[in-house]
């Protein structure tokens, strides 16, 4: 982005001033990270609340925590924008852009938009439920707006930290790198939340499941890890995503809960978590190993290899793991295959331990899988473009 227009070019003097000023992680970054933690906890808690209790009111602790995350991100972003616009600091012009008469870091403007979108989704969600009833779907219009806003905040935070990393001392870069790993993991986690239905264990023998992952995960996983420009970045992001998913799967069932809506098909006594996280750590390690040999390739050439490696290694590990999840050995608190939402008709209207196949023939399966590989090339290229932008950004 630094090469597109004069607005994003930076003079040598401004670069020097920027480097001198990036000697610590500012409070605004810590405030936004705190907001993202609130959003991560609130998001998982809210899904579990819907699965265990039902949507009894908008003012649940989980909803409040999600919106608190938006407020914290908005406060930090507004502080950066107003400080740069009216603070009179001429040195800040080397690390800011001008939009609609205001000046501030590009990431702050992106995060402000995300904050507005998230806060707007709150009354929209309340109206939606009052107008159309209590849904049990993760993807609905107000939830989509909420998700877009949340993802925009993540992109904004990553852009802010990338700009600081690209002009900071080694100790500051180290701290920002680990914070970026966490934010990257939440980006991947958000994509996987949108893919909850597609990646539910009984769907993991469908080629459409792997195509869905190929569409949404590579931009988030590759983009955030490639932007860090460090060894094993992809494995770190995927590993952090896995740890977050496992933590919620193991912690949420420790808290009591009972359904408040009907019909109730399952005996719920504690919060119900989502399923065991998919094994993205394996394709992530494969990509890290691949990039050590091909990192200097042209981006399209690199994407032509990265996409198929991602899809095929993910298929190779998730397919047999899905077989294991269908067995009695996985029906415990560790793997989570004994948990069902209160409204789930499992063991009544369907067998939850039998794969539901979407492709009717083997030929259809391979055609869809081939499309997934092609899609993965395109989405991998988008990820590299995002990562390259983060490597260059200074403001």
Same domain, 160 and 200: no
**Residue 175 located in a structural domain:** no
Same domain, 210 and 353: yes
Each residue's pLDDT tens digit, 157-199: 999 998 888 777 788 889 999 999 999 999 999 999 999 999 9
DSSP per-residue letters across 38-107: HHHHHHHHHHHHHHHT----S--HHHHHHHHHHHHHHHHHHHHHHHHHHS--GGGGGG-EEETTEEE-HH
**Residue 388 located in a structural domain:** yes
**Residue 204 located in a structural domain:** yes
**Residue 385 located in a structural domain:** yes
**Do 51 and 336 touch, CB atoms closer than 8 A?**
no
Same domain, 335 and 209: yes
**Do 306 and 219 touch, CB atoms closer than 8 A?**
no
Same domain, 161 and 200: no
Each residue's pLDDT tens digit, 191-200: 999 999 999 9
pLDDT at 18: 38
Give 97 or 352, the one with higher predicted confidence: 352
Each residue's pLDDT tens digit, 218-254: 999 999 999 998 899 999 999 999 999 999 999 999 9
**Do 245 and 277 touch, CB atoms closer than 8 A?**
yes
Mean pLDDT of the chain: 87
pLDDT over 70 for what percent of the chain? 88
Give 90 or 362, the one with higher predicted confidence: 362
Last residue of a domain, one of 145, 165, 185: 165
Same domain, 146 and 254: no
**Residue 181 located in a structural domain:** no
pLDDT at 135: 55
Rounded distance, CA 135 to CA 200, Å?
19
Same domain, 260 and 363: yes
**Do 263 and 341 touch, CB atoms closer than 8 A?**
no
Give 61 or 129, the one with higher predicted confidence: 61
Question: Domain tally for the chain?
Answer: 2
Give the pTM.
0.88
Rounded distance, CA 247 to CA 189, Å?
13
**Residue 190 located in a structural domain:** no
Judged against a pLDDT cut of 60, whether residue 310 lies above it is answered with: yes
Same domain, 205 and 321: yes
Rg, C-alpha atoms of the chain: 22
Give Dmax (Cα) for the chain: 70
Same domain, 143 and 279: no
Rounded distance, CA 315 to CA 319, Å?
6
Relative orientation angle of helices 233-251 and 281-294, to the nearest 10 degrees? 170
**Residue 372 located in a structural domain:** yes
pLDDT at 260: 86
Judged against a pLDDT cut of 60, whether residue 356 lies above it is answered with: yes
Last residue of a domain, one of 165, 182, 203: 165
Domain that holds residue 131: 23-165
Judged against a pLDDT cut of 90, whether residue 127 lies above it is answered with: no
Rounded distance, CA 382 to CA 88, Å?
38
Same domain, 131 and 211: no
Mean pLDDT of 68-82: 92
Rounded distance, CA 232 to CA 158, Å?
18
Same domain, 252 and 136: no
Mean pLDDT of 60-76: 92
Same domain, 355 and 309: yes
Same domain, 156 and 271: no
Last residue of a domain, one of 144, 165, 186: 165
Q: Which residues of 74-87 are buried (b: 16+ CB within 10 A; e: fewer)?
A: bebbbbbbebbeee
**Residue 150 located in a structural domain:** yes
Cα separations in angstroms, 179 against 40, 175, 228, 265, 391 = 14, 6, 11, 42, 16
Helix boundaries (H) for the chain: 12-21, 27-52, 61-86, 106-132, 141-165, 170-194, 207-228, 233-251, 281-294, 299-325, 362-392
């Amino acid at each position: 982005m630094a090469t597109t227009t004069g607005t994003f070019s930076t003079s040598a003097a401004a670069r020097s001033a920027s480097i001198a000023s990036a000697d610590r992680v500012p409070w605004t970054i810590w405030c936004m990270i705190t907001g993202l933690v609130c959003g991560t906890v609130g998001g998982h808690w809210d899904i579990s609340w819907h699965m265990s209790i039902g949507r009894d009111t908008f003012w649940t602790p989980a909803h409040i925590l999600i919106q608190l995350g938006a407020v914290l991100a908005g406060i930090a972003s507004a502080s950066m924008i107003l400080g740069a616009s009216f603070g009179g600091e001429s040195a800040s012009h080397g690390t800011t852009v001008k939009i609609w008469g205001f000046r501030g870091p590009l990431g702050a403007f992106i995060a402000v938009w995300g904050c507005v979108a998230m806060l707007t989704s709150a009354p929209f969600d309340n109206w939606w439920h009052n107008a159309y009833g209590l849904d049990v779907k993760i993807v609905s219009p107000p939830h989509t707006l909420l998700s877009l806003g949340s993802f925009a905040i993540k992109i904004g935070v990553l852009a802010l930290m990338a700009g600081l990393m690209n002009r900071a001392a080694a100790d500051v870069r180290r701290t920002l790198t680990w914070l970026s790993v966490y934010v990257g993991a939440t980006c991947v986690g958000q994509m996987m939340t949108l893919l909850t239905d597609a990646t539910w264990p009984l769907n993991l023998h469908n080629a459409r499941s792997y195509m869905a992952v190929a569409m949404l995960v590579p931009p988030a996983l590759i983009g955030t890890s490639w932007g860090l420009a460090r060894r094993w970045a992809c494995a770190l992001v995927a590993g952090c995503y896995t740890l977050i998913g496992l933590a919620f799967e193991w912690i949420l069932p420790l808290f009591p809960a009972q359904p408040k809506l009907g019909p109730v098909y399952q005996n719920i006594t504690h919060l119900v978590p989502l399923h065991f996280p998919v094994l993205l750590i394996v394709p992530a390690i494969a990509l890290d190993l691949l990039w050590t040999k091909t990192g200097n390739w042209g981006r399209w050439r690199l994407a032509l290899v990265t996409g198929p490696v991602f899809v095929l290694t993910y298929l190779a590990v998730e397919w047999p793991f899905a077989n294991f999840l269908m067995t009695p050995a996985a029906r415990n608190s560790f793997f989570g295959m004994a948990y069902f939402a209160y409204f789930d008709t499992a063991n009544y209207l369907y067998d939850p331990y039998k794969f539901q196949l979407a492709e009717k023939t083997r030929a259809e399966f391979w055609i869809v899988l081939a499309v997934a590989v092609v899609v993965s090339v395109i989405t991998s290229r988008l990820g590299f473009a995002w990562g390259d932008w983060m490597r260059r950004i200074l403001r």
